[in-house]
Amino acid sequence: MSFIVIIGIALGLSLDAFTVALTNSTIISDLKIKHGLRMAAFFGLFQFLMPIVGWAAGMTFNSYIEKIDHWIAFLLLLFVGGRMIFAGLPFSKKDDKSSCEDENRKDCRNLPTLFMLSIATSIDAMAVGLSFAMIKINIIYPSLIIGIITFLISLLGYYLGKAVGKKIKIELDIFGGIILVGIGIKILLEHIS
């Protein structure tokens, strides 16, 4: 498989992570660079690992995983997006100040949420790993490229979101949640049709 093809696959796989990073850094006005780096690192790491997991699973369990991967991604994104939508509703707000330690605020600074977002945005990478197993491609090199590109694209999403967030001074939790649910629906519809 050529380097250009691997780059194209990596760019395609990184778009969900880019969208999530962009959305989070837009709606969370006080998101720090350490959070942006951590988010990009999580997304890059999971995009690196999931093709390997998919490749390994593809050796024995291809038909089972392929049938449910889209449902897993959909349910994870629906859960995280739903929590964001709920957090954006006027009756759910307890305090206008956001804090990394505030457990009522469900965003990418919360490690369990970041973990779920990382899994949800990398399910497609697992499917790519499955397909690589079918065509007998060595998985480490493509996975490394996918992980690095996802890290860089997610970091770009973080910075773009910060730039947009400074210009838009409205609460966007509901909008961000709708985007995440939309990504989940997109994944589900692509695999169903």
Please, which residues have CB within 8 angstroms of residue 67's CB and are 6 or more apart in sequence? none
Confidence of residue 65 (pLDDT cuts 50, 70, 90): low
Q: Are 58 and 134 in contact (CB under 8 A)?
A: yes
Mean pLDDT of the region 109-131 = 84
Q: Quote the pLDDT of residue 93.
A: 57
Query: Is residue 2's pLDDT more than 90?
Result: no
d(CA 54, CA 133): 8
pLDDT > 90: percent of the chain: 23
Confidence at residue 102, expressed as pLDDT on a 0 to 100 scale: 39
Residue 58 clears pLDDT 70, i.e. is over it? yes
Q: Structure tokens of 86?
A: 């709920």
What pLDDT does residue 76 have? Answer: 67
Is 105 within 8 Å of 84 (Cβ atoms)?
no
Average pLDDT over residues 91-110: 51
As a residue count, the chain comes to 193
pTM: 0.71
Q: Confidence band (pLDDT; 50, 70, 90) for 163? A: confident
Q: What per-residue confidence (pLDDT) applies to 42?
A: 96
Q: Please give the pLDDT value at position 189.
A: 85
What are the tokens at 104? 């009522």
For residue 100, the model assigns a pLDDT of 38
> pLDDT for 83-99, tens place per residue?
767 777 777 655 444 43
Pick the closest to residue 113 from 165, 33, 43, 13 (CA basis): 43
* Most confident of the following: 14-28, 95-109, 179-193: 14-28
Specify the pLDDT at position 16: 84
For residue 48, the model assigns a pLDDT of 97
103, pLDDT greater than 50:
no
3-state helix, strand, coil in the chain (%, to 5): 80, 0, 20
Q: What is the DSSP letter of 92?
A: G
Average model confidence (pLDDT) for the chain? 79
What is the C-alpha to C-alpha distance for residues 174 and 155, in angstroms, rounded to an integer? 22
List CB contacts of 8: < 8 A, sequence separation 6 or more: none
Q: Give me 38's structure tokens.
A: 């951590």
Give the whole-angstrom CA distance, residue 185 versus residue 183. 5
Identify the CA nearest to 98 among candidates 182, 164, 151, 165: 165
